[in-house]
A and B are shown apart, each in its own frame.
Chain A
């Protein structure tokens, strides 16, 4: 997110404090005086991870500190798992298989590697699914398993969280 705050001592700390107060984790702070910005204010970009549902509370706290939020970037999907699929992936409409996950709105296939050894031989693919949280990942996996059962595909799951 991009924040705008008064360029006076202690302001940056005041802006960062609420982030830890809501259980967030700061990944990067980018802090530069822009020639275009007025002398009184300072623009700071912060990249952070937040537990789900805490964003509203953070914004409230920042307002209380008189820190203006200029822009909130895209919420990133934090859970990530790779699965391997084996079977007749193309003949069973791989696009549809991916779409059934993407369509959920809470999870999406973000990477795929596909190997097709020979016509009529089963192909193998590694797909990476991202979701907002673990429960959504579990729901996405259930969908994937159902699609796989329908299309006679084998899903290999990770043993541990990845």
Chain B
């Protein structure tokens, strides 16, 4: 494989991971505020279909992408209303919405199967894209991919370096304390759930108006991406930088799967296609096992000389969710 092909492949990985970056960071924001929005899988399918349909009907890419944002925001609003106002289970609401949105997409998308619509063209940045290697990797993409690059530091800066970000984290970690300091916990949860949902909704048109342009119903290959995004949020410990790292690692593995397939003829293609999912389970195992009680017991039984190293290793991989994730807030 030539260097040129590898470079093109890596550039493709950065672009292909864009939707996952949007979805996983959107989910990170909403979970940082304490709300799990489990509907991502259906939202991505529905926003892909909806934005493509609008794109076909109006010929406008902008309206198409806005439709994706809107669909994600509206579905998140239903989750927020059901959970925050009506105090019903986030998991139940999100899971049902994940199924409904997917079926709705297949039902409403029927007339648009195989239609041809607008497609986002790439926009190499003059000058910068001519820099060897770096130019091709980072500056020869389309607008949405640039936005996905920008989103990572911006979300990180917002969550960890601004006052609003501090309040956002407080609302998800210690809502009662945030409330005592004057934060309107439930209104902020509404706000960040809807904002996070809108970002998830942007992942759909990145497929249907850009990477996998068009709508092919059940064989669009979008079913499952939302669940991966939710897992990456955990893997990334609810921090935009690590979440983005997870998304790009995932994209890299998928690309490697495609590239290496001819060399791994012993492994059937079906196995490589689902390889991400056992991998997802393994990474979740890796980041969670340090929290298990029996691991602590084994750790306590280790000879003192190994114990600090083992404990340090576990601490390095372990993640813990925002303190009040999934817990409704009620002021006393």
Are A and B co-members of a single complex? Answer: no
Binding site for B on A (CB under 8 A): none
Binding site for A on B (CB under 8 A): none
